[in-house]
Amino acid sequence: MQVPFLDLKTQNRALKAEILPLWEEILDSAAFIAGKHVSAFEEEFASACSVKHCVAVNSGTDALRFIFLALDLKPGDEVITVPNTFIATTEAITQASGNIVFVDIDPETYNMDPTKIEAAITPKTRGIVPVHLYGQPADMDPILAIAERHGLWVVEDACQAHLAEYRDRKAGSMGIAAAFSFYPGKNMGACGEGGAVTTNDEDLAAKVRMLRDHGQAKKYYHDMEGYNGRCDALQAAALRVKLKHLPAWNEARRKNAKRYFELL
């Protein structure tokens, strides 16, 4: 028997009745960019991640890049992360002018080994980017403590960790900001591209909002150069539907993983 690695068709069939009326409403209103579904999704996802702000963007890569740009990385600044991640983590650092410094992973968790971080810190280090790989949060307490000791920020790459928890705290709520991906294959995927930045820092959220929209906070007032990195209404509406199901989906994954673990 062939078991597909990922079966989105079954998920889509089950959600069609919930998503299509929202899409019909968007088609009728022709409000494709921004609008009520995007802001409602931002509020709902912020609340689900226990943070004050969520800025929906058009990919996890943009979410990471906009965070590093908002943190004002300068050429020569160093950012510590892990090699065991998707290339977008490091693309975003270099595209925002930073230099990547790798620390190795813990072979038990496949996530950043906190005991390796301090040896990698130099006077040029600005921040640390743990990646919560395969939905398992990195060991954040020692990472946050090291960052605090050295005056560094921590940005979570939570692109694979929607609603994951670390000691009662939500992935995406522990660093200065976090990036999420809604690429279709993720735990919570859009019906196309999507991503989000979560943060408790109001200024950082405002800057990311401008970066995703050509540097404008007010239409045609471009205070800086930005990007076209907005989330569209069709994706936000589908994500609002999926967010309601996510806790149950995550629970089912945990149950299945436990079963595989026991049987293998």
Ligand X SMILES: Cc1ncc(COP(=O)(O)O)c(C=O)c1O
Residues that bind ligand X (CB under 6 A): 59-61, 85-86, 88-89, 131, 157, 159-160, 181, 183, 195
- Looking at beta carbons, which residue is closest to ligand X? 60
Among residues 178 and 233, whose Cβ is nearest to ligand X?
A: 178
Task: State in angstroms the smallest separation of the CB of 183 from ligand X.
Answer: 4
SS3 content of the chain, % helix, strand, coil (to 5): 45, 20, 40
CA distance 95 to 166: 29
The DSSP bridge partners found for residue 7 are none
Shortest Å distance, C-beta 24 to ligand X: 26
Helix locations, 83-158, DSSP H: 88-95, 140-150
Q: Which is nearer to ligand X, 68 or 183 (CB)?
A: 183
Closest distance between ligand X and the C-beta of residue 177, in Å? 14
Question: Which residue, 253 or 259, has its beta carbon nearer to ligand X?
Answer: 253
CA atoms within 13 A on the CB side of 45: 35
**What are the CA-CA distances from residue 128 to residues 11, 73, 111, 152, 247 (Å)?**
36, 13, 13, 7, 28
Cβ proximity to ligand X: between 29 and 228 the closer is: 228
- Residue 125 or 181 having the CB closest to ligand X: 181
Smallest gap from residue 212 Cβ to ligand X (A): 13
CB of 214 to ligand X, least distance (A): 19
Residue 170 in contact with residue 163, Cβ under 8 Å?
A: yes
Rounded CA separation 190/110 (Å): 26
